[in-house]
């Protein structure tokens, strides 16, 4: 059994019975994706082989039950990820259930399936959208695999249209950028200023054994290269955009995450470790099977004005 590391800091609005000082959870609904990023840390290759999930995810009723259990346990914020969460046909119902249960709702998406109509439909239930945008250079996007079926990248104009429509609908916007060997020398400030997110999360590309071993070596960057990228681009803070860098060290073991089979998992040892199924043993018991560092969660800015 793995251990839980508790923070000495007290977070507001968390029940005293709450098992962690981490009030947010990332629910990776499914492993399917319409892009083919070579550095992806969550393709869930192992889950595909071990679990019988015909559609790549649990049935809607079970997903809704997990959301209810998370709300009962005191989680404040629920972020739907993947794979690509927009490929889940009942995602809107999950978002609405989480919102109805009092949680802040969020999705992380590559944006390819977002439409103006979908955003208008979800404006009252969805609080945040995190757009994954690593570069606006089409050649680099193809080499990264950040392209539809690994071949067709989205254009800068498409990314900016989506960003503006998200904000027009009153949904809060953050951008997620993974820094790789393809992009670490870029100045991305013009694009970020045009998109105007509230938060810009900059991630050092993260190797995870058993997930992205096949291609990760050609994408890794050194701590110095990552730092140089952050320093070069940080001047967007002059425009009121909060820059949130996450090194490999900060990302490791600082997230509460759920896999497509409905289990908590962590990456604290450089590979995925899974809990017992949440629906079988409950939230608190399943959380005891993983290792999460609440101090590191706070250090990377995981708790903010959401």
The helix or strand, by DSSP H or E, that contains position 175, with its residue range, turns out to be: strand 172-179
Range of lowest pLDDT (52-56, 74-78, 112-116, 254-258): 52-56
Looking at residue 56, what is its pLDDT? 77
pLDDT at residue 11 above 80? Answer: no
Chain-wide mean pLDDT for the chain? 92
Whether domain 24-299 has CATH 3.40.50.300 = no
> Rounded distance, CA 231 to CA 237, Å?
11
For residue range 57-102, what is the model confidence (pLDDT) as tens digits?
899 999 999 999 999 999 999 999 999 999 999 999 999 999 999 9
Range of lowest pLDDT (9-18, 68-77, 219-228, 237-246): 9-18
The mean per-residue pLDDT over the stretch 118-123 comes to 98
Nearest residue to 170 via CA among 128, 142, 217:
128
Category of 121 on φ-ψ map: left (φ > 0), alpha (ψ -120 to 50) or beta: alpha
> Rounded distance, CA 26 to CA 255, Å?
7
Looking at residue 165, what is its pLDDT? 98
Would the pTM of this model clear 0.85, i.e. be above it?
Answer: yes
- 3-class secondary-structure state, position 74: coil
């Amino acid at each position: 059994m793995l251990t839980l590391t508790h923070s000495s800091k007290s977070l507001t609005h968390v029940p005293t019975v709450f098992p962690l000082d981490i009030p947010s959870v990332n629910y990776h609904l499914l492993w399917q994706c319409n892009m083919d990023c070579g550095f992806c840390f969550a393709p869930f290759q192992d889950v595909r082989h071990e679990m019988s999930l015909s559609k790549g995810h649990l049935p809607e009723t079970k997903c809704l039950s997990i959301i209810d259990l998370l709300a009962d346990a005191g989680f404040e914020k629920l972020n739907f990820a993947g794979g690509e969460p927009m490929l889940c046909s009942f995602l809107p119902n999950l978002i609405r259930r989480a919102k109805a249960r009092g949680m802040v709702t969020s999705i992380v998406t590559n944006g390819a399936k977002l439409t103006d109509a979908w955003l208008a439909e979800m404006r009252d239930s969805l609080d945040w959208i995190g757009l994954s945008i690593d570069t606006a250079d089409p050649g680099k996007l193809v080499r990264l695999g950040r392209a539809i079926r690994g071949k067709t990248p989205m254009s800068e104009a498409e990314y900016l249209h989506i960003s503006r429509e998200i904000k027009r609908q009153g949904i809060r916007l953050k951008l997620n950028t993974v820094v790789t060997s393809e992009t670490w020398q870029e100045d991305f400030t013009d694009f970020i200023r045009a998109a105007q997110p509230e938060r810009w999360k900059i991630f050092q590309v993260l190797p995870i054994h058993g997930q992205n071993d096949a291609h990760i070596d050609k994408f890794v960057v050194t701590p110095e290269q990552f730092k140089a990228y952050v320093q070069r681009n940080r001047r967007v803070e002059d425009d009121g955009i909060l820059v949130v860098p996450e090194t490999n060290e900060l990302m490791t073991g600082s997230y509460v995450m759920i896999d497509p089979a409905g289990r908590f998992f962590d990456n604290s040892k450089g590979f995925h470790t899974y809990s017992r199924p949440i629906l079988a043993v409950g939230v608190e018991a399943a959380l005891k099977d993983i290792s999460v560092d609440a101090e590191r969660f706070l250090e990377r800015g995981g708790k903010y004005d959401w």
